[in-house]
Amino acid sequence: MPQVEWVQRLEEMGYVGPEGYRAEAFSRNIGILTPEEQEKLLGSRVAIAGVGGVGGVHLITLVRQGVGCFHLADFDRFEAANVNRQYGARVPDFGRHKLEVMVEEALRINPYLEIKPFPQGVTYENVDDFLDGVDVVLDGLDFFNFDMRRHLFNRSREKGIYVVTAAPLGFSSAVLVFSPAKGAMTFDEYFDIREGMTREDKLLSFGLGVAPGGTHLKYLDFGRIDLNAGEGPSSIVACQLCSSMASMEAVRILLGRKGERVVPRYFQFDPYLGKFRSGRLPRGNRNPVQRAKIAFVKTFLLAKASPFRPVAPDLPRAVEDPGGKVSEEALHYILRAGIQAPSGDNVQPWKFSCAGNRVSVWLDADADHSFFNLRQIASLLSAGAVVENMRVAAGACGFEAEVSWLPDAGEPHRMAHLDLVPAPRRPGPLLDAIWKRRTNRKTYAVRPLSAALVSGIQAQAGEAGGSRLHVLADRPGILKLARLIYRADRIRNEHRGLHEYLQQMIHYDEESAIAARSGFPVGNLEAGKAGEYFLKFTRPWPIMNFMNRVGVGRMVALHAAMGVRASSAAVLVTVPATDAKDFLLAGGTMERAWLYLTRMGLVAQPMAALPLFWLRWRLEGPEAFSPKHRKLLEGVWGAWRELFPAVDFEREQPAMLLRVGYASDIRVHTLRRDVGAFMVGEGEAI
């Protein structure tokens, strides 16, 4: 570290010794601080636990304020995911230890600083050393590192040290000050931490207790918060605001200035809303109002952990193999990514075989015999989506997936093989969306799509195979499409085969859903309690048939139409021909578009009836439908063509339709079978 060189440079410029430099460097603080106070700061010792998003800016702020001694702790390294909010996250420093980078940054400002680094972070073993001789502690630990935070706060109190914590919440900052004075509230008392609490409950208590004013609750997307996975949004606006507010409290404590506000007092400033909230929270989180707020957020806003909620696996470690062989860990990750793909009624109609670095994807032709799956088209689309997911995941594991479609005419069920060729690791922007993409049947918020977003969707088609993406985003068109969906869904409800197949795939209790790990739990349909009762009541075809005859069945079709009316857009995937490869490629295009939508914060639901009925009409003729349903569809096709004027329906065919929009995440997810359930031997018949 060139600390000596920086000191020499200062001396060459005439700043002899630390006193000479400090007198000039911090001269503009005088007038806000007295010379005596400035000298006191130079001799003060501040401990900062974590030097990432909040802690890194704490450090720089206090260095420029003139604090002279620091204990700094962090074990992590900088990466691209830190760029939006962390002071030291720059491309040249990716992969370097955050502590090393931030110590350099601090010494570039004042090379005479006294810094004691703790490269293992704050641990139970070194916490006493970290706190030794410290005047005040600033909490910069990751939000989800609750147990270590609790231990640090409690140990600081035992040693008579103040702790300041500032939380970046939305665009706001909320600050709490914990005093070691006798009678002051402790960490456990204020946040109401008790034995037996789950990790989720502890994090929720901390998150809501740190900001009782809750200004950020009005605009924060709770669908982006997962307490169990340790994920949540943060911004540089809030991190810098945290540093200003927390550093001010630290300076106040160090200098003994008036105005100290310790818990149960709190304050939060939100520049986005232009609001400042401050007050007292008697009894902390034990306050009845606070308890009600915690219960509300836990029950209605946060995604709940359940056996149905998918959890993204950790990205495999980079392993250098002289022969470039894919590791079992990486192969398992790639296969798991593949089986996150959508399939008709979640039947998961695929198998896999592996030989060295080659992975083959097979079609399980016996998985789906529904009326929708004409000539295995729905399953082909799903297999194409599987390959797309695997291609993206392979890049993240350090492999280029070279895809060969339908490689052996003698094996018609082998859809593709992927040769995994060693390459630089490229996680890509769609990787995280693989684990977050789901079918969302909720009623969406009616919000228009921007032109940039429409262009982004269309760009996912690429060049391969000629499949295209067409976006219907004008309001009159959406309303017209809803009327067509109503007619198509009437057929779906009135067709005995489709009704009975759907009922086979619905699980009305949690145990059967977990045992099967296919189909969908009834809650996934977002039908509400009344809708779930109706579905269960009409399981026998004679009852559903009676409901159709008296007109009640049309309410189900109306529900589907209302879902389309409440959508921002519809996305149609088309293919240039009707060969198996065309639908495989279209499945990849569909999945890329869906992953892109997920990444951009939108949700989607396949509306498969219209495109798949059209394909059956074209490939098998009108006679494939009953006279009644034939008449319904004859009134649909003309309007269907008009909605998508860019589609030449004589030369290209619709393969899949998605309704898209904005909505909160679903609470009940579909499950996937384990990877082993899909594996077959390379020579085994499918």
Global confidence as pTM = 0.82
In this structure, the answer to whether residues 586 and 556 fall within a common structural domain is yes
Confidence bin at 686 (pLDDT 50/70/90): low
Q: Do the domain assignments include residue 299?
A: no
Verify that 417 and 533 share a domain, yes or no.
no
Residues 365 and 494 occupy one common structural domain: no
Q: Given a cut of 80, is residue 332 above it in pLDDT?
A: yes
Is residue 271 located within the same domain as residue 169?
Answer: yes
Tell me if 214 is assigned to some domain.
Answer: no
Checking if the pLDDT of 611 tops 70, the result is: yes
For residue 321, pLDDT beyond 80 = no
Check pLDDT > 60 for residue 327. yes
Same domain flag for 386 and 490: no
Please check whether residues 267 and 401 belong to one and the same domain: no
Residues 12 and 122 in one domain: yes
- Write the CB contacts of 630 (distance below 8 Å, at least 6 apart in sequence): 622, 623
- Is there a domain that residue 418 lies in? yes
Query: How would residue 444 be classed by pLDDT, with cut points 50, 70 and 90?
Result: very high
* Whether residue 573 is found in the same domain as residue 448: yes
**Strand, coil or helix: what is 540?**
coil
End-to-end CA distance of the chain: 62
Identify whether 215 is part of a domain.
Answer: no
Tokens representing 484 are 């067509």
Whether residue 604 sits in one domain with residue 460: yes
How many domains does one find in the chain? 3
pLDDT of residue 311: 78
Q: Is residue 106 part of a domain?
A: yes
- Cα–Cα distances (Å) from 168 to 16, 39, 277, 562, 681, in that order, read 40, 31, 15, 39, 52
Banded pLDDT at 1 (limits 50, 70, 90): low
**CATH number for the domain that contains residue 351:** 3.40.109.10
- The widest CA-to-CA distance across the chain, in whole angstroms, is 98
Domain range for 261:
3-187+235-280
Question: Does residue 364 sit within a domain?
Answer: yes
- Provide long-range contacts, Cβ within 8 A and 24+ apart, for 8-15: 10/111
Q: Report whether pLDDT(87) > 80.
A: yes
User: CB atoms < 10 A from the CB of 224, how many?
Assistant: 13
Looking at the fold, whether 273 and 357 belong to one and the same domain comes out as no
- List the 468-472 sheet strands across, edge first: 468-472, 569-575, 653-661, 603-606
Q: Is the pLDDT of residue 134 over 70?
A: yes
The answer to whether residue 14 is domain-embedded is yes
- Give me the CATH number covering residue 168: 3.40.50.720
Same domain, 116 and 243: yes
pLDDT in the model for residue 7: 84
Lowest-pLDDT range of 2-11, 53-62, 391-400: 2-11
Residue type, 77: R
639 occurs within a structural domain: yes
My answer on whether 426 and 500 are in the same domain is no
Query: In this structure, which amino acid lies at residue 70?
Result: F
